[in-house]
A and B are shown apart, each in its own frame.
Chain A
Amino acid sequence: MNSQILDKVESSGVCGIKKAELKKLFGADCENSLSQLAQEDKIIVDNKGVAHYVWSKDNYITHISQNDPKFKILSKLVHNLEAKISQIPKSDGISDFKFHFDRTISEISSSLGWVPLAEVRAKVCQNLDITQEKFYSEVLSLVEQNQSKYEISTGGQEGIHVRGMLHGYIRRL
């Protein structure tokens, strides 16, 4: 019965449906179902004029946003805020990558600070769920853009190619 009542309420749209009408349709026993649906936040029961009306949650928000001046103002403010948030540049992948990359280097660093890129790659790729290709392309641009912050060294089985040589070791300066 609950799903039938919910369908009927949703189909009533922004105007909602009188509680009394629901009782007519589904019998007086529907009171329990309505209480249950209200508890689950699937429907809202509120007064409209002198009668009790029932709305689905989304329709109720639309209803009060259109008819209640306070909610109307609040709704506009929220929309503006949402628009502004969407304009803010999302936290870019590079800084996220840099954070994990730097942290991993610190974790596995030896006394001189040099670490094999293969070990850093294994941890960072696992944490960020990125491919090996993506990892090394990020490392290349990170090292290129921060030449004074990282130092790379030749050797190893995998790494980045600079001056035609495989650089498989890195450290932070």
Chain B
Amino acid sequence: MKYPYGLKSNPYPSSPTPTESDAKILGGTKHQEAKNSIVECISELYKQTARRNSDENDFRLITVVQDVGSGKTHLALHIKTLKTRQDIVTAYVDLSTISPKTNESIYSAIIRGFSREMFSELRQKFIMQICERAQKGDSLAKKALGYGFLDRLKGITIKQKAEDILYDKNVISQEILRSYLAAHYSQHEAAVIFGVISNSFEKATNLDDLHGRLAALCKFFHNLLGKVTLFELDELDAQEGSLEFVKSLINAHIPASVLLLITTPSLYLDIQRANPSVFDRLEKANYKIDLAGANSVDELIEIAIEYIKEADKTERFNKKEQQDLAAKIRVLCDEFPEFRNVRSIINILNHAIEQGSELEASEITETVIDETIKHTYPGLKIKGSIMEVPISEFIKIKRTAGATQSQVKQAIANLVNYAHEIGNVSKSAKQNPSFDVVYSDPFGTKIGIAVVMNDNHTKNFEAISNVVKSSAFVDKLIIITNTNIPQSNLATIVNVDKSKVIDLLYFNTKYTERKLDEPESEKAKILAKTISVI
């Protein structure tokens, strides 16, 4: 199956929320800046703690507050999946999936939030530590590894016994392990090491257990693996359980760790009302990541292009194609607020790539977008359009409409021609240069139309003032303009907005190509009425 731009697969994720795999690609300047801030915070902490044991001053708090669908979760998962940086170990927890939110349930979710590889590395370190102790003659360590008299007689080494456990060829005795750990470690450290080696973490029933174990875990990650721990708590809400947990975690100052809290502006302000004490702590975060402009059109374009660039192995997706796609996305976002956030634009582009593949299109064309919207967003129409301009035509017109005044003049002249052809008006054989078109209505009233559509409104005022001086040449003067001026006794002012301009240009194309069919001719009459032509 072939996809547009020569892609072998659809680069845009299809799930409504990102997965770790989707989050490997991170586009957009704002999102990149946010990522850099987080990475900078972690790196600083890493450098600070690199050559010493970490303490309670080695704790950082980061908040990310932005609206739904703006890419916060994507950012958090991207940080978690960063392969280039080896100094972070991340636990990602989606608090919205935890109910009820108790210390016990959140602790379990944090443990599940770490990657298995990290625990495997830690497990190896712990078992090798037991091995070293056993080699030095620690009898409890030998017992824990199951090393006995017979093994010595058989010539089996302590290291071999440790490796058997490491590669799951042998099982460690839980009872002896507990005794060994109790003799060498604190209660919380012992609980963590036991959980890691046996891959079975006990429940943390009180705050003391919870903080003690998390601190022990961070200490081991730091001392044994040389990593700073990042706790990512997504979908932070104002529920009592969530806030109590967060407050205690901030107060605990877990060494060599960073707490990253992700929430929405609405929930952030809910927290302010529900628990001012927690809110105050969040306000004093070391880093407050502001994803302002995360849903701006420029950012959305950058994100959209990044996906294709990452997937494009043949480098077929060149600058020209990027600019072309950017222009189409810009028109889409300008017209439809529905697409103005990261989640929405990724979603429509995922569908567009699939649609493009079905239509065997070499790129995301206007027709592809049109078909995609018809299938995926059937209720979506161009707002205020009388001609019911298809979205594909709308995008084409918007992208090609340059010198609007001359195009509108031509469209108005053709609208009068059309009204003349269907017998609604009589176009004057002798035109007056002061007006763009002169015609008579069925009662013989001589009407002149002037189109004044510059971007410079001061120029428009001058042009309107000049054309009004010629109003005596006609019985009725109609001024079609984009400038907001009050009605006058001397002329009928018709203000045209962008949707009406698109209608006129669409009509003009259809009329000049002689493709005005029955339903569109009726709409053209309505258009002529709204412009006061008939």
Interface residues of A (CB under 8 A from B): 87, 89, 92, 110-114, 116, 144, 147-148, 151-156, 162-165, 168-169, 171, 173
Contact = CB atoms under 8 A, between A and B. Distances in A.
Contacts of B137: none
Interface in B241-270: 264-269
5 contacts: A147-B296, A148-B296, A153-B266, A155-B264, A162-B337
Interface of B: 65-68, 264-269, 272, 283, 288, 290, 292-293, 295-297, 337-338, 340-341, 344, 484-486
A113 B67 CA distance: 13
B283 A111 contact: yes
Given A89-B486, A173-B293, A110 B272 contact: yes
Nearest to B266: A155
Contact of A114 (B268, B283, B288, B338): B268
Contacts, number: 63
B295 to A, nearest CB: 7
B297 A154 contact: no
Contacts of A171: 265, 292
B293 A112 contact: no
Contact of B269 (A114, A144, A151, A162): A114
A168 to B, nearest CB: 7
Given A89-B485, A111-B283, A173-B292, A168 B272 contact: no
Contacts of B66: 153
B290 A163 contact: no
Given A112-B288, A162-B337, 5 more contacts: A87-B486, A110-B269, A111-B283, A148-B296, A151-B292
A154 B69 CA distance: 10
A155 B341 contact: no
Contacts of B485: 89
A154 B67 contact: yes
A97 B67 CA distance: 25
Contacts of B264: 153-155
Nearest to A90: B486
B178 to A, nearest CB: 48
B338 A169 contact: no
B521 to A, nearest CB: 32
B269 A116 contact: yes
Nearest to A114: B265
A111 B290 CA distance: 11
Given A163-B341, A173-B293, A155 B265 contact: yes
Contact of B268 (A89, A112, A163, A173): A112
Contacts of B266: 153-156, 168-169
**Ordered nearest first, which 7 A-B pairs have the shortest CB separation?**
A155-B266, A114-B265, A153-B67, A153-B265, A169-B265, A162-B337, A163-B338
Contact of B337 (A155, A163, A173): A163
A110 B268 CA distance: 11
Contacts of A111: 283, 288
A87 B296 CA distance: 38
A94 B484 CA distance: 13
